[in-house]
């Protein structure tokens, strides 16, 4: 295992072996070799050190996904600090809260955010030190900002930090139950054990070209960035505006000869339906990985028919563990299959068990909450000791098990099947109802493109169920037709009370269905 040398050491070794290989491509903006990226990240390391950053500090990254941002990530790690990426498209107030909450020493920021950020952070307390870049793209803007700073005072060269396994590598903020985002703390051991597992299963080679579809504040980006850059492969950055448009994305994937694709299923569903994949050459693709939500079988079947060569993997896991189970999708997918595929077996660097509401392990075949332990499990939530304690079960021998909140059942072959979220299970008419099961039933309708279901409090009935839908064609099914379809595919107590048609369902910045916004639409 490479853990003792830290996450950034994986890249450093690759840069020493393959200095002239292309490390990162930013279509339309430029590309950098491993040697160039190593030198640029060294300069970031030196500048951060000159600004007082030391081992154990946090450094915020408030910039668009770019070569500039990748170099900044490695510069932060080389300085011995943890990087804290935020979503540039999110409200500035939210990002200011994140930076204030984890006490960043420095924020590397695009200039366009500075005024609003300073105003918002000033209301919370002290404004952190800010290192400004006038934009992003191709690494040019970061070079320019470093040159400008060096012209004022040269940053002395410093040594790259040798991080211990338990040192923080990054903090990713997710939505919190209190309404405030919470920081998931991941160590070098957490990250490297995951990257090592990816290396073992997916066998990257120097000729690979990995997509970077996920934003850097999303946990899918850990695989995107750190797996290819460990192996001398190439990382291809997908711009946000292209990543959500299948008509632009599909040709870009072919043009860039992507070999390993990784994203949430929603964009793959759009590619299957609207990407005209049959008209492009995607023969370079050897892996299609998806995670983050359930992939409707109908769309997955369409995709595998259009792109029959790659191996398909369903990867499952919350931010707190990154990927913790995986399942290779067998092909062909029969027309008779309507239920999603299992989330699979536990990854080799982790252990799993299924527990009841009292934390006791259940027998195989009984449903319960999936709990995970091992080297990939987070240290905890930043500055939230009570939430951290509540997130874990602890065995008599001191082993900590992270409670995922997901209800699963283990089959005889050892594969887990995902049944739904613990917090998406509701009682209706005395029955326990998993809202995801209703969504799966709605997806069987040939005209339904997207489906999301929420529970609405009701004074008389306790709850009512509202389904938000988007249609594949201009003519939508009538209410009578929908009710009839549901009665043929769902138990009576699962049929939604309300149906709401939308042009498309709202998404989060990580391309998942935005249930919070749907709840606000009630």
Q: Which residues contact 249 (CB under 8 A, 6 or more apart)?
A: 238, 242, 243, 267, 271, 275
* pLDDT value, residue 178: 60
Largest CA distance in the chain: 73
Q: What is the mean pLDDT of the segment spanning 2-22?
A: 90
Is 112 or 430 the better-scoring residue by pLDDT?
112
Domains of the chain: 30-187 (3.40.50.12780), 210-346 (3.40.50.980), 350-419 (2.30.38.10), 429-520 (3.30.300.30)
Is 431 or 521 the better-scoring residue by pLDDT?
521
**How confident is residue 3, by pLDDT bands cut at 50, 70 and 90?**
very low
The percent of residues above 70 in pLDDT, for the chain, comes to: 97
Name the token pair of 199.
């290396």
What's the pLDDT tens digit per position in 341-357? 999 999 999 999 999 99
Q: Which whole-number Å values give the CA distances from 192 to 6, 7, 201, 218, 440, in the listed order?
A: 7, 6, 14, 17, 35
Q: Which of 275-279, 293-297, 319-323 has the lowest mean pLDDT?
A: 293-297
CA–CA separation, 60 vs 52, rounded Å? 14
* pLDDT value, residue 105: 98
Name the pairing type of β-strands 209-212 and 182-187.
unpaired
Indicate whether 189 pLDDT > 50.
yes
Interhelix angle 188-202/7-17, rounded to 10 degrees, is 50
Is 178 or 480 the better-scoring residue by pLDDT?
480
What's the pLDDT tens digit per position in 374-416? 999 999 999 999 999 999 999 999 999 999 999 999 999 999 9
Q: Is 45 exposed, middle or buried (0-12, 13-18, 19+ CB in 10 A)?
A: buried
Q: Which of 116-125, 134-143, 287-296, 306-315 has the lowest mean pLDDT?
A: 287-296
CA–CA separation, 142 vs 135, rounded Å? 8
* pLDDT value, residue 39: 98
* pLDDT value, residue 441: 86
CA–CA separation, 121 vs 28, rounded Å? 34
What's the pLDDT tens digit per position in 212-270? 999 999 999 999 999 999 999 999 999 999 999 999 999 999 999 999 999 988 899 99
Strand blocks (E) in 247-329: 260-263, 287-290, 311-316, 325-328
* pLDDT value, residue 460: 61
Name the token pair of 457.
């409090």
**How confident is residue 176, by pLDDT bands cut at 50, 70 and 90?**
low
Indicate whether 2 pLDDT > 60.
no
Q: Which residues contact 374 (CB under 8 A, 6 or more apart)?
A: 193, 349, 350, 351
Which one-letter DSSP state was computed for residue 178?
Answer: T
Indicate whether 1 pLDDT > 80.
no
CA–CA separation, 187 vs 193, rounded Å? 10
Sign of CA dihedral 307, 280, 270, 242: positive
**DSSP per-residue codes, 85-141:** E--TTS-HHHHHHHHHHTT-SEEEEEGGGHHHHHHHHHHHSPPPEEEEES--STTHH
Phi, psi of 405 (to 5 degrees): 80, 0
* pLDDT value, residue 138: 98
Name the token pair of 266.
């929603």
What's the pLDDT tens digit per position in 30-84? 999 999 999 999 999 999 999 999 999 999 999 999 999 999 999 999 999 999 9
Q: Is the pTM of this model over 0.85?
A: yes
CA–CA separation, 219 vs 62, rounded Å? 16
Sign of CA dihedral 493, 499, 505, 506: negative
CB 230 within 8 A of CB 205: no
Length of the chain: 522
* pLDDT value, residue 461: 63
Q: Which whole-number Å values give the CA distances from 103 to 84, 114, 176, 191, 508, in the listed order?
A: 10, 17, 18, 22, 25
Name the token pair of 171.
């903090």
Mapped onto helix, strand or coil, the DSSP state of residue 239 is coil
Is 66 or 444 the better-scoring residue by pLDDT?
66
CB 448 within 8 A of CB 442: yes
Q: Which residues contact 331 (CB under 8 A, 6 or more apart)?
A: 304, 308, 312
Mapped onto helix, strand or coil, the DSSP state of residue 291 is coil
Cis link prior to 397 (omega < 30° from 0)? Answer: no
pLDDT averaged over every residue in the chain: 94
CA–CA separation, 404 vs 391, rounded Å? 8
* Nearest alpha-carbon partner for 169 in 187, 196, 194, 189: 187
What's the pLDDT tens digit per position in 327-338? 999 999 999 998
CB 286 within 8 A of CB 313: no
* pLDDT value, residue 179: 56
Mapped onto helix, strand or coil, the DSSP state of residue 420 is strand
Name the token pair of 342.
């299992």
């Amino acid at each position: 295992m490479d853990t003792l040398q830290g996450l950034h050491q994986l890249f450093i070794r690759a840069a020493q072996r393959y200095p002239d290989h292309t490390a990162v491509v930013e279509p339309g903006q430029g590309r950098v070799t491993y040697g160039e990226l190593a030198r640029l990240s060294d300069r970031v390391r030196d500048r951060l050190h000159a600004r007082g950053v030391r081992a154990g500090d946090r450094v915020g990254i408030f910039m668009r996904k770019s070569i500039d941002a990748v170099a900044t990530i490695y510069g932060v790690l080389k300085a011995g600090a943890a990087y804290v990426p935020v979503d540039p498209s999110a409200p500035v107030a939210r990002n200011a809260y994140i930076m204030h909450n984890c006490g960043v020493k420095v924020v590397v920021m695009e200039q366009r955010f500075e005024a609003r950020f300073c105003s918002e952070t000033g209301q919370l307390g002290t404004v952190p030190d800010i290192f400004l870049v006038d934009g992003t793209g191709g690494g040019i803007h970061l070079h320019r900002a470093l040159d400008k700073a060096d012209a004022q005072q040269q940053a002395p060269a410093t040594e790259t930090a040798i991080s211990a396994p338990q040192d923080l590598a990054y903090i990713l903020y997710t939505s919190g139950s209190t309404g405030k985002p919470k920081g998931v703390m991941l160590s070098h051991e957490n990250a490297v054990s995951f990257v090592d597992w990816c290396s073992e299963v997916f066998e990257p080679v120097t000729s690979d070209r990995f997509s970077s579809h996920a934003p850097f504040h999303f946990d899918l980006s850990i695989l995107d960035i750190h797996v290819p850059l460990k192996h001398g492969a190439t990382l291809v950055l997908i711009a946000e505006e292209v990543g959500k448009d299948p008509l632009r994305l599909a040709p870009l994937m072919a043009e860039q000869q992507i070999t390993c694709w990784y994203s949430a299923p929603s964009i793959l569903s759009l590619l299957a339906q609207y990407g005209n994949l049959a008209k492009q050459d995607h023969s370079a693709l050897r892996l299609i990985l998806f995670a983050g939500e359930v992939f409707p079988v109908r769309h997955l079947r369409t995709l595998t028919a259009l792109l029959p060569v790659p191996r398909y993997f369903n990867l499952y896991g919350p931010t707190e563990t990154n990927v913790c189970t995986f399942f290779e999708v067998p092909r062909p997918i029969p027309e008779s299959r309507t239920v999603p595929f299992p989330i699979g077996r536990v990854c080799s660097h982790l252990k799993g068990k299924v527990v009841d509401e009292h934390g006791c392990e259940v027998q195989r075949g009984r449903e319960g909450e999936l709990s995970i332990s091992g080297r990939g499990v987070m240290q905890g939530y930043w500055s939230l000791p009570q939430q951290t304690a509540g997130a874990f079960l602890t065995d008599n021998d001191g082993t900590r098990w992270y409670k995922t909140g997901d209800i699963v059942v283990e089959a005889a072959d050892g594969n887990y099947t995902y049944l739904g979220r613990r917090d998406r299970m509701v009682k209706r008419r005395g029955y326990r109802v998993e809202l995801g099961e209703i969504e799966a039933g709605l997806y069987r309708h040939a005209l339904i493109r997207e489906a999301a279901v929420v529970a609405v409090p009701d004074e008389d009935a306790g709850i009512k169920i509202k389904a938000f839908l988007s249609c594949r064609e201009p003519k939508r099914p009538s209410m009578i037709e929908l009710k009839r379809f549901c009665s043929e595919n769902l138990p009576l107590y699962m049929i939604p009370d309300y149906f709401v048609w939308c042009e498309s369902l709202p998404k989060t910045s990580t391309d998942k269905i935005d249930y919070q916004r749907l709840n606000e639409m009630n």
